[in-house]
Structure formats: structure tokens, C-alpha cells
Structure 1
Amino acid sequence: MTSEYVTFGLTPAVRPGGVPADGAYQMHRDFLDFTVDGSSLLSCLDDFDDLDAVSPLTSDLDPAVFTGQVRGLLLDTDPPLDGGRFVIYGCPECEGLECGAVTAVIERDGPDVVWRDFAWQTDHTAPDVERDGFHGVGPYRFHGDQYRTELKRLLTDDGPDSRPAPRALLVGRRAAVLAKLAAALRRIGIGAEITLDAAGAHPDELRKYGAVVFGRAVGRDQRDAVRDACAAARADVVFLTGLAPIVPLLVAQVEQALDRRPFDRRRLTGLHASGTEAVIEVASPCRVRLEAHRLDRFSRPRTREVFDGPLGPGTHRLTLDARAVRGEAYVVARTRDAVLVTPVAR
């Protein structure tokens, strides 16, 4: 077993939600990712596959359940799986093992804590590490005091688990579009409320939102009044004007606004589009999905998937079908941990 020490850490991470072209909903999950010597453990596991997974430390857990997850990682409770194994990353849509999960043995070794035998697991039976293991990942030896200090911070009132659930305020007059957008956001785990005028809202209420979305029919005076009210309330919000009345596009726009992580923690760092190509900037290898959204001449929304595949670090130019981006059009790029939206420049 390894005798070299590595540092244990936690960092905020996001698994963006969305409404893909096939209409399937994808849950938005804010969670704490594990880091080893400052590097994301999930990104390390991604070298084997583009894992769509989250840690058990998600912000939408009931406080008692969250505390139970932390106590488990602290080894204050018995392992939930055979063989002393714990779920390290699981399905972002459900809590079952049937979809598959990354598990590992977590154990004490004297004063230290060791994570070892990382493997893919689909039921409660301990996996065959030789067959299903992530070879080359771990074992990791952590100083016990440093490991426990990081996790115990989550049990205090000011720990990262106290972050509020993401919420968006929708301001506008097109009730049908806003109602569909609010329903889509709620379905993927983002709270959403609709109002005609938020300028008179109580400051405590305004501080609950991470994004304010203005419908395109909202005038400048009304937008300025809402901005002034949020400033007076010291609400840390991002203001958006809806790009077009296309629900999957607006959901992606809200997801991008709610992601406050520094760009050096993201894989997708840039997106631009013209009528002939999309230019994508990628920080590290990942799978990228590209969708084109447009309004046809009858103002009906049209969506088409134009790319889905792995890309390496660097700048990539992907050809766009002119029919997919004619007229008023937009492009959405997605990875496992990021969403970017851009209008198609003419």
C-alpha cells in the first residue's frame, strides 16, 4: 500500500441540467468534488470514460442525509456497501446503484485514512477490482487530521453545504413562454418564479436568486428598476435578457449564468459561431455536444444536434450546416460540467 501522502480537499462543482434535443430532462446538480493534491478526482477518472456523475455531497440533499454522508466519509458509521466500500461518485439522476457508481474502500491505517481499490459497481455485491477497477487511480493516503478537518467543516453552519439551491426570477409579459421555462427549470432542479415587476420585492426575497431573466418585451425602464432593487438588496445576481422564446435555449442560458466557477476550473472555456462554423475552446479532453437552435420564418422553434463527440485540449472549428443556423439562430455547447451559449453572428 502507498506510503506517500497526498492532500485531500473539496471544491464546488456543477453538473448542468438541460433539455436536450431529444426532449429528455437532465437534472441540475451542485455538489462538492473531491480533490487529491489540488486536482479533481472526477477529472482523473474521466481519463477512463467521460463520466456523468456527482459525489454524494450534493447541495440538494436533506441536511440529515448530507450529515450522514459526511459522517460516513469520516468513518464514524459503518460502510454502506460490502467490502468496506463507499460510493465516491454516483448517478446524477437517481440514488440507485443500478445506473453504476464509482466506489472505493475507505479505511483507517493507524492515524491515516486510505482510499483504495476504485471500481465501477452496479449492485451491492463487492466488484471484481481486477475486472472493473480503475487501474492507476489510487491508492491515496491522507493525513488523518487534514482529512477530518476538511470534512468536519461541512458540519458547521458556515460550511459549503449551506449554499442555497439555485433559483431564477423570470420577469416578463409572455406568460405562456415563461410558464414553460419555469416548468422546465423546476423539473431539472432549479427553482423559478414568474413576476411582471420585481422592483417592489422584499430584499430578502431578491437575495435568494442567482439569475434574473428578462423577457425580450420588457422595456429598459423596467429592467433598470429591477437592477436598482437588486443592487439596493445587495443581491448577487446575473441579469439576462432571453435570447429567444425557445425553452431549451433559455434553460441553457440560465445554466450558464448560474455557473460562477472560475474558467480555470472548467473544461469548456469559449464558444463562438458564424453561419458556417462553431469555434470551441476546450481546456482538457472531454465529450462535447453541440446543438443549434433557431426560429423559422413562422417564429416556430427548431432544434438540431450538430455534433457529439470527444475533443482534445485546444481550439476546434466545427462546420455548421447552413440550414441548421439560418435566420435567427443560436448554438449551445455542453460538456459534463459546463454549458455555453452564443448567438450565430452574421
Structure 2
Amino acid sequence: MSAAYATFGLAPATRAGGPRTDGGHEARRDFVDFVVDGSPLLFQLSGPDAVSPLASDVPPAIFTAHVRGLLLESGAPLPGGRHILYGCPECEDLACGAVTAVIERDGDDYVWRDFAWQTGEIADPERNGYHGIGPFRFPGPAYREALGALLDGPVPPPGRRVLLIGARVALLAKLAAALRAHGIGADITGDTEGVPAEELRGYAAVVLGPATGQAERAAVRRAFERAAVEAAFLDAAPPIVPVLVARVEHALDRSPLPLRRLARLTAADGTAAVEVAASCRVTLTAHRLDRLSRPRTQDLFDGVLEPGGHRVPLDGKAAREGTYVVARAAGSVLVAAVTR
């Protein structure tokens, strides 16, 4: 089968990471994803839990070697002209599984073909191939321009520091701890008076505590405006830590909307409606406060959803106003308040 021409691009992506149910912790990874015909290639492969070798936390020499390999300026790392496109987020062991493909030159074009899931030195495209994906033919000039730009400096990871404004109340302290557990830096301060502009530029989002008055809020915004920082401003409401963490994560996500797995989430009239852009595992969780202001959590859904809209029933207390539904997929999160 001849390869059809396709567009090639690159975009920042994230493997969110976080606590595991067995008590362990998944690593957060910021990497550069391949965008083929306007859609992340990882989406087209049904979103395995994997990252490209173009990660922001690998040494520059290794990063450069991966880029030059994709440009075919060095030999293929695997037999048969195969290159690793996505690998294990936790380690570099091929035994964990990797998405590989043959990359070759055809005149001035670059061709990616025979995509497969590989766990050893030799791939078996017939048994473990991604049938129906590719081959892709990329025009040489655009392909080299996109990858060559990385050699001038890898795409930086999005800002991951948040400033919490307000008294050191229990809510902000708990939120800071939870954000740090998710790989997000968090600092607490009473106000921004006297904070140097260069320090404010290190924050991508600001959470304003419940006791922060209007005059204090205005002063904080002016400080960030003087520092020329386009930070996202959030209120510490509702006072439910997992919901606030999800709202902060969403605010920090600067990836283009078409490249996000979760496209929309609503919760009304006893139903949560979620729309996904690509086949992926999605979890839906309901959060609320009981009559004694104690947080309560209810798992609603955990499974793989195909592209399109889906509806999940909200039963019992999860359907009440004052409940918040959090939807998560790899690298994407949305929050919706339950309404009637």
C-alpha cells in the first residue's frame, strides 16, 4: 500500500501521573507529541499509557539524539529500520512495551509505516500491528523544519507553579500538599506586596483564598499585570480539595482545545454528559460536602470510551446540587457542578 501524504507537526503533551491505587505513584512526564493530519498520533493509537522519547526531563544530548534519529541522520535503534515513537513513562525498558514504526526516506519525503506494539528486539506487525494506521508520507521540508526547530531548543513544559493567596488556613495548606503530590509546585503567601516581578513570573496560576477581600484581590491582579504575567486566577471554591486540584490542573493546561482528550463535561438532571475526542480511559468521580462539611467521594465510572458523547447516570446523593463531577483522562481533566 502506497503511503498517502499527511501533514506533520509537534505539540506539547503531558502524562499527568499521580497516586496509584496500590499506594505507588506514577511519574508526571512532559513531552512533545507528534501531530499527524491535525490530530495527536497518540490519540490515533487509542492513547496507550506511553510518552514520546522527546521528553523535557531527558538530558539535552539524549533529546538531540532522538531528534536526529527521527531525521534519519543516525541509524535506527531497532532492527528493520524501526524507531521508538512512544515508550514506557516510568523507564526506558523495551520489555514494558513501546510503539514502534519503520521510518525511511523516499526521495525527499519521509515515510512512517508498519506501526506495531513491541516488547522485544523483533517486532511482529502481523500479530501486534496497528492495522489501519498509516503509512504516512511527510513532505521533507515541513518534516525537517518541525523537528529541526527542536534542536534550537526543546518545546518547554507548561508552567507548573501556583501561588495560593490568603491566610495559612487549613484549606490552602491541604490544597498546597495535594498540588505538590500531583507534581505542581505550590506556595502560600498572604499577599504579593513586595514580591519581585521576576518571582511572580514563575507562577502560571493564582488561587485566591476564601478570606481574601476585594481590595486584596485587586492588588494581586495589579501586581501580576505590572509583572506582565498572564496567570490564571481562581477562587478557592468549592472548599473541596480534589475539585480545586482538578480546576488548577485544567487552568494550567495550555494545549490547544482540539488536542485535548476531554472535549466537554456537564452534569444536570441526574446525568453526567462527557464528550471525548479520542478513544481513551476516562474516570468520573463525584465530590461533595456532607451536612458536617466533611468531604465525600463517589466513583461513577472507570472505563474506555470511544470518540463522541457519552452519558453516565448520577444516582442518589451524586445527583444533588452542591456536588461536583471530575472527569479525568490521560493529560486532561474537566470539572462540572451538578445543576438541575
Q: TM-score, normalised by structure 2?
A: 0.87
Moved more, 72-81 or 202-211: 72-81
Q: Deviation per CA, 1:245-268: give whole Å up to 9, x if none.
A: 443322211111011233333342
Q: In structure 2, what is the Cα distance between the partners aligned to 1:85 and 1:217?
A: 58
| Cα distance change of structure 1 residues 281 and 142 upon mapping to structure 2, 3 Å threshold | closer
In structure 2, the CA distance between the partners of 1:211 and 1:121, relative to structure 1 (3 Å rule), is: same
Contact 1:19–1:248 (8 Å) recurs in 2: no
- Which stretch has the larger CA shift, 236-245 or 173-182? 173-182
Does residue 1:133 correspond to 2:151, yes or no? no
Range that drifts further, 232-241 or 14-23:
14-23
Alpha-carbon distance between aligned partners in 2 of 1:156 and 1:207, rounded to the nearest angstrom: 23
Give me the whole-angstrom Cα distance separating, in 2, the residues matched to 1:256 and 1:20. 20
Gaps of 5+ in 1: none
**1:145 corresponding residue in structure 2:** 141
- Please list, as runs of the form range in 1=range in 2, the aligned pairs for 1:298-317 lying within 5 A after superposition: 298-317=292-311
* Other structure's SS at 1:161 match: coil
Contact 2:3–2:134 (8 Å) recurs in 1: no
| Preserved CA contact (<8 Å) 1:33 1:40 | yes
Q: Secondary structure at the match of 1:137?
A: coil
- Separation in 2, partners of 1:309, 1:24: 21
**Is the 2:176–2:187 contact (alpha carbons within 8 Å) kept by the matching residues of 1?**
yes
3-state SS of 2:179 partner? helix
Larger displacement relative to structure 2 (261-270 or 130-139): 261-270
> 1:77-126 deviations in whole A, cap 9, x for unaligned?
33333433222122334443343221112233444322222111224x12
Q: After the TM superposition, which of the residue ranges 82-91 and 330-339 deviates more from structure 2? A: 82-91
Other-structure match for 1:188: 182
> Match of 2:12?
12
Q: 1:4 to 1:317 in 2, by over 3 A?
A: closer
Structure 2 counterpart of 1:78: 75
Given the superposition, is the C-alpha separation of residues 247 and 27 from structure 1 closer, same or farther in structure 2, using an over 3 Å criterion? farther
Letter in structure 2 aligned against 1:107: E
Q: Which region of structure 1 is more displaced relative to structure 2, 14-23 or 88-97?
A: 14-23
- 1:22 positional shift: 7.7
Distance in 1 (CA, whole Å) between partners of 2:210 and 2:80 is 57
| Mapping for residues 205-216 of structure 1, pairs under 5 Å | 205-216=199-210
Residues 116 and 125 in structure 2, CA contact (< 8 A), matched pair in contact too: yes
Cα deviation, 1:111-159, whole Å, max 9, x if unaligned, reads 4322222111224x122121111112222222333321210111124xx
Which residue of the partner structure matches residue 54 of structure 1?
Answer: 51
* Partner-residue secondary structure (3-state), 1:162: coil
What TM-score comes out, normalization by structure 1 length?
Answer: 0.85
Partners of 2:277 and 2:155 lie apart in 1 by: 28
Tell me how far apart the structure 1 counterparts of residues 78 and 325 of structure 2 sit (CA, whole Å): 43
Which stretch of structure 1 is more off in the superposition, 22-31 or 301-310? Answer: 22-31
Query: Counterpart of 2:234 in structure 1: which amino acid?
Result: L
Q: Which amino acid aligns with 1:132?
A: N
- Contact preservation (8 Å) 1:6, 1:141: yes
CA contact (8 A) 2:40 2:259 kept: no
Aligned to 1:276: 270
Tell me the residue number matched to 2:218: 224
Unpaired segments ≥5 residues, structure 2: none
Query: CA 1:22 to 1:251, structure 2 compared with 1: closer, same or farther past 3 Å?
Result: farther
Contact 1:275/1:326 (8 A) holds in 2: no
Paired amino acid for 2:313: T
The 1:283–1:146 alpha-carbon spacing in structure 2 relative to 1, beyond 3 Å, is closer
Give the alignment's Cα RMSD to 1 decimal.
2.8
Q: 1:108 aligns with which of 85, 95, 105?
A: 105
Structure 2 Cα separation of the partners of residues 237 and 63 of structure 1: 29
Summarize deviations over 1:170-197 as a string: whole Å, max 9, x none: 2232454434433433343322222222
Does the 8 Å CA contact 2:43/2:278 hold for their aligned counterparts?
no
User: How far has the Cα of 1:209 moved from its partner?
Assistant: 1.7
- Residue 76 of structure 1 aligns to a residue whose secondary structure is coil
Identical counterparts, % of pairs: 58
Equivalent pairs, count: 340
1:14-62 deviation digits (Å, cap 9, x = unpaired)? 434455788765544433221223332222211xxx4233222233434
